[in-house]
Structure 1
């Protein structure tokens, strides 16, 4: 197979699978798997560039702005300080283009790269690449690995194609990024979107079925209608006025899976406080501090799949503004979940 028209493609960072205790209900585990890479809505993701030509940096800035222009409830802010950045971006031309998935980046040392671009981003394919890698950071996997896609591969040709230039992948990487199907419990819905920004371009001969893609799969580039629908479902525009929460006051939470509650907190005294959720629920609890008008991640806990509640202890300062966000994976009974700090 000729590699003359081959395109380099993304090699997403590996995920660490979440392990569940024996006996966890299938529905509960499925909901957690579907959402465990997603950010709490309202997160401000700070990004920082290691180095790189200004036109390439600007292409990434433009891609962040494009995602934000949809009206999603996330914010993207460039920072000049690496230690303040959750997303750390490099332009190593020898390392391909890739990104870790969603909240996995919080487990990466702040000296390390979480997103890399290995080719020019200023043409149409490059601009789609920038959108694609940011999609990974938002929690989106590769679309062709959707278990409901029904793709049947000519596997020897797939290994041969991606093993050649310009990707030069070992077999393990080709399997990880192309042939390996996502766990069906990790996928919301059953649709495959061949037009998605998260879909690869494939030449003729790699796909045996569906038959209409035997001559190749060539997504149009940019965000598809389903990409927009997906990201708006997980990150809808935030309510204008979050609820106020005082110390020792319990705030009941009645949420659907994926739903979220948001609270503003202004402590009346400076001291250490304990935050906790209560009830039979799996949640992600995140606390932000407002610094110079921007929300900075202060502390968080995720109790998904564990027989405990999300909790942490943190020092708060009198008169400063904090924001607590609770996102629900699963609740045993509606109305049996609450947030309190004391």
Structure 2
């Protein structure tokens, strides 16, 4: 999300299994037509939890101050979703959070159900003392992933004028590296490979989204830049309100 700590999202090993788990959790995750319910670009199917259900959230590590800061930031989503967060004692939960220096990472939505029970589904760097606003933004971003959202800068309609050689250089990647080179492929997937519009139903591109990376001016052509978004945007809220409507049937 920022120049120091980039968010990483885990790619599930079996897309078929991910689909089965997602649709079993929430039948609305099955891909809909363009004329039906609109969804942000979240995959060939959705990864949303069943509206009305309670998500049990456990901490695998971290001190109490870290846990309190995570809870406070994550709860910013609650007014906009038909879900309940239950931060539980112990290490058993639908979402399991590990405190690890320099890492921001999350499974996407229902893919958390594919993770072994003793393993984390989210990792957060314990920076709440050093930069509370930045930490809160990172937590909201990762919980956006946990609720089923992808990175907004990879939106099919994203119009970022990337200076690719500059981005490659910043990541110590030779701009002439083969497309199959691991380091180049990692940068491409992180910044440049937009989601395919033919595969997704999505809402309009939102440069103010909490799910958007900050974009450095020296990584683009011209004067284009996007500062780090520290709060939920209005489109973030609207997107989640559609994904988790309060009119949905309640689940235990």
Could you tell me the TM-score, scaled by structure 2's length? 0.77
Q: Which residue of 1 aligns with 2:90?
A: 81
Query: Is 2:47 the partner of 1:47?
Result: no
Q: RCO (CA 8 Å, sep 6+): is it higher in 1 or 2?
A: 2
Deviations, residues 122-165 of structure 1 (Å, cap 9, x unaligned): 5211110000000000001000000111234222221222459x
State which structure, 1 or 2, has the greater radius of gyration over its C-alpha atoms: 1
Q: Partners of 2:50 and 2:32 in 1: how far apart?
A: 23
Structure 1 moving runs of 4+ over 4 Å: 25-28, 30-35
Q: Could you tell me whether the CA contact under 8 Å between 1:163 and 1:171 is conserved in 2?
A: no
Q: Which residue of 2 aligns with 1:197?
A: 210
Structure (1 or 2) with the greater strand fraction: 1
Out of 230, 234, 239, the position equivalent to 2:239 is 230
Q: Partners of 2:33 and 2:201 in 1: how far apart?
A: 12
Q: Which residue of 2 aligns with 1:142?
A: 151
Q: Partners of 1:183 and 1:16 in 2: how far apart?
A: 20
| Change in CA separation of 1:124 and 1:18 when aligned onto 2, cut-off 3 Å | same
Consecutive unaligned residues of structure 2, counting only runs of 5 or more, are 20-30, 174-181
- Cα distance, 1:16 vs. partner? 4.8
Q: Which residue of 2 aligns with 1:103?
A: 110
Q: Residues 256-267 of structure 1: matches in 2 within 5 Å?
A: 262=249
Q: CA RMSD in A?
A: 2.9
Q: Partners of 2:159 and 2:142 in 1: how far apart?
A: 24
Consecutive unaligned residues of structure 1, counting only runs of 5 or more, are 239-259, 264-287, 289-294, 296-342
Q: Which residue of 1 aligns with 2:10?
A: 13
Q: Could you tell me whether the CA contact under 8 Å between 2:97 and 2:122 is conserved in 1?
A: yes
Q: Partners of 1:188 and 1:121 in 2: how far apart?
A: 35
| Change in CA separation of 1:163 and 1:15 when aligned onto 2, cut-off 3 Å | farther
For these two proteins, the number of residue pairs brought into alignment is 223
Deviations, residues 261-311 of structure 1 (Å, cap 9, x unaligned): x37xxxxxxxxxxxxxxxxxxxxxxxx6xxxxxx3xxxxxxxxxxxxxxxx
- Cα distance, 1:61 vs. partner? 0.5
Q: Which residue of 2 aligns with 1:158?
A: 167
Q: Partners of 1:100 and 1:201 in 2: how far apart?
A: 21
